[in-house]
Amino acid sequence: MGAATDIEARMRGYYAQRAATYERVYFKPERQADLRALEASLPPLFAGRRVLEVACGTGWWTLHGARDAQAWLATDINPETMALARSKPLPACVQFETVDAYSFEPLAGRSFDGAFAGCWWSHVPLARLAPWLQLLHERLEPGARVVMLDNSFVQASNLPITRRDVEGNTYQQRRLDDGSVHEVLKNFPTREAAFAALGARARDPQWTACGHYWVLSYDLC
Ligand SMILES: C[S@@+](CC[C@H](N)C(=O)[O-])C[C@H]1O[C@@H](n2cnc3c(N)ncnc32)[C@H](O)[C@@H]1O
């Protein structure tokens, strides 16, 4: 894929700066029931698999997804977020590696039979979504299981959308504790739009909308 766009580079910097306070988002009271249900749903989806986790951040989902996996490679571009993930009591199968999800370069020659990304899809520019999925699928074996989960737009829980660009990407203005304000690309896909991006190898995609989150899962042929 091409060089990172300005918005992608800014997103990388934003999450590095936000790392220490990132998990506040997981303590919003109105999201707790959904979170518990999602956490409980992950282990069986990856039981016995060798999984690539994209953009693992502070490892909130790693803890749950990796529980019964055979091997779990948690990747992110930012050492700041992965340092927090590494400090958690994670299953022994978890390893970490710094990887840019737009190239997967360090993973050349390696393959997996599972892939997971939490709250990453929403940050991929719409024009890059299908090529990014194709790149991910190139790292995955036939029969691999892919699971993505991300935020649904819920008026009272999400920041408002402040801008929509010509390609249809939507943006939010986010303020960090130091007072800095960041424009962050955050898309809220429909089931149909998500399915349309998956490509020819995706089999029997499933979409579950559960309140504050959506989950997309499929296997690859
Ligand atoms: C919204 S957070 C999601 C973190 C975690 N998966 C979760 O759901 O809690 C987005 C993550 O993407 C990472 N990130 C940003 N740009 C990236 C890139 N080009 N490649 C890999 N990770 C990236 C950030 O460091 C951040 O940890």
Q: Which two tokens stand for residue 74?
A: 């948690």
Domain annotation covers residue 106: yes
Question: Ligand 1 centre from 132 Cα, in Å?
Answer: 14
Q: Which of 38, 98, 119 to mutate to test the pocket of ligand 1 (most atoms within 8 A of CB)?
A: 119
Range(s) of the domain holding residue 56:
6-220
The contacts of residue 2 (CB under 8 Å, 6+ apart) are: none
Rounded distance between C-alpha atoms, residue 1 and residue 3, angstroms: 7
Q: Which of 1, 7, 12 to mutate to test the pocket of ligand 1 (most atoms within 8 A of CB)?
A: 12
**% of the chain beyond a pLDDT of 70:** 98
Give the residue with greater pLDDT, 6 vs 156: 6
Domain annotation covers residue 67: yes
Domain annotation covers residue 1: no
Encode pLDDT of 197-218 as tens digits.
999 999 999 999 989 999 999 9
Residue 95 has pLDDT above 90, yes or no: yes
Domain annotation covers residue 116: yes
- Cβ proximity of 163 and 171 under 8 Å: yes
Rounded distance between C-alpha atoms, residue 183 and residue 164, angstroms: 12
Q: Which of 120, 184, 186 to mutate to test the pocket of ligand 1 (most atoms within 8 A of CB)?
A: 120
Which pLDDT value is given to residue 156?
80
CA-nearest residue, atom 13 of ligand 1:
55
- Cβ proximity of 119 and 101 under 8 Å: no
Given the CA of residue 56, which atom of ligand 1 is nearest to it? 6
Q: ∠ at Cα 127 (56, 198), nearest 5°?
A: 65
Domain annotation covers residue 33: yes
Encode pLDDT of 34-61 as tens digits.
999 999 999 999 999 999 999 999 999 9
Q: What is the CA radius of gyration of the chain?
A: 16
The contacts of residue 139 (CB under 8 Å, 6+ apart) are: 52, 104, 107, 110, 111, 112, 115
Question: Ligand 1 centre from 119 Cα, in Å?
Answer: 8
- Cβ proximity of 60 and 118 under 8 Å: yes
Cβ < 6 A, ligand 1 pocket: 8, 11-12, 15, 55-57, 60-61, 76-78, 81, 100-102, 118-120
Alpha-helix runs per DSSP H in the chain: 6-18, 32-46, 62-65, 79-86, 126-138, 191-196
Q: Note the pTM of the prediction, 2 decimals.
A: 0.97
Look at the alpha carbons of 100, 104, 110, 111 in this order and tell me if their dihedral is positive or negative: positive
Q: What is the CATH number of the domain that holds 151?
A: 3.40.50.150
Question: Ligand 1 centre from 193 Cα, in Å?
Answer: 22
Q: What is the mean pLDDT of residues 91-116?
A: 97
- Cβ proximity of 119 and 149 under 8 Å: yes
Which pLDDT value is given to residue 5?
79
Q: What is the mean pLDDT of residues 160-184?
A: 97
pLDDT confidence band for 155 (50 / 70 / 90): confident
Q: Which two tokens stand for residue 53?
A: 């986790």
Question: Ligand 1 centre from 100 Cα, in Å?
Answer: 9
Question: For the chain, what is the domain count?
Answer: 1
Lowest mean pLDDT among 32-41, 148-157, 185-194: 148-157
Which pLDDT value is given to residue 19?
98
Domain annotation covers residue 55: yes
